[in-house]
């Protein structure tokens, strides 16, 4: 997907909650932006919410996703180890070194 999505489109579909038009790109505007964002958070969430509770709830919501990523990470490591033990990467690198196979990356050579 190469079509640019405008901020207004993202606001319409609910991807963002607000567009801060008060800020520009000049130096020092990042401080103004941060202040506006923190004010917006305070206005939306208020003092009645406990930040620690919100953090814990968010962690609980993300836990199943993190558990899956942990399992996949371990499987990837062992899969790579099996391929390494079978000598597959070494054979491929040997083909590249002997120029039987071209690598996607171009290697620049500087002869002095």
User: What tens digit of pLDDT does each residue of 52-61 get?
Assistant: 888 899 999 9
Q: Where are the domains of the chain?
A: 1-49, 50-101
pTM of the model: 0.45
User: What tens digit of pLDDT does each residue of 12-66 get?
Assistant: 999 998 898 888 778 878 888 999 988 888 888 777 878 788 889 999 999 999 9
The predicted pLDDT at position 45 comes to 79
User: Contacts for 18-24 with beta carbons within 8 Å, 24 or more apart?
Assistant: none
Task: State the pLDDT confidence band at 80, using cuts at 50, 70 and 90.
Answer: very high
């Amino acid at each position: 997907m190469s079509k640019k999505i405008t901020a207004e489109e993202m606001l319409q579909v609910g991807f963002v909650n607000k567009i801060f038009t008060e800020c520009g790109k000049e130096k020092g505007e990042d401080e103004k932006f941060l202040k506006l964002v923190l004010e917006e958070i305070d206005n939306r969430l208020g003092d009645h919410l406990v930040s620690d509770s919100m953090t814990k709830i968010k962690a609980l919501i993300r836990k199943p996703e993190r558990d899956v990523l942990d399992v996949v990470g371990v499987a990837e490591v062992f899969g790579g180890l099996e391929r390494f033990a079978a000598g597959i990467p070494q054979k491929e690198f040997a083909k590249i070194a002997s120029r039987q196979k071209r690598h996607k990356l171009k290697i620049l050579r500087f002869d002095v």
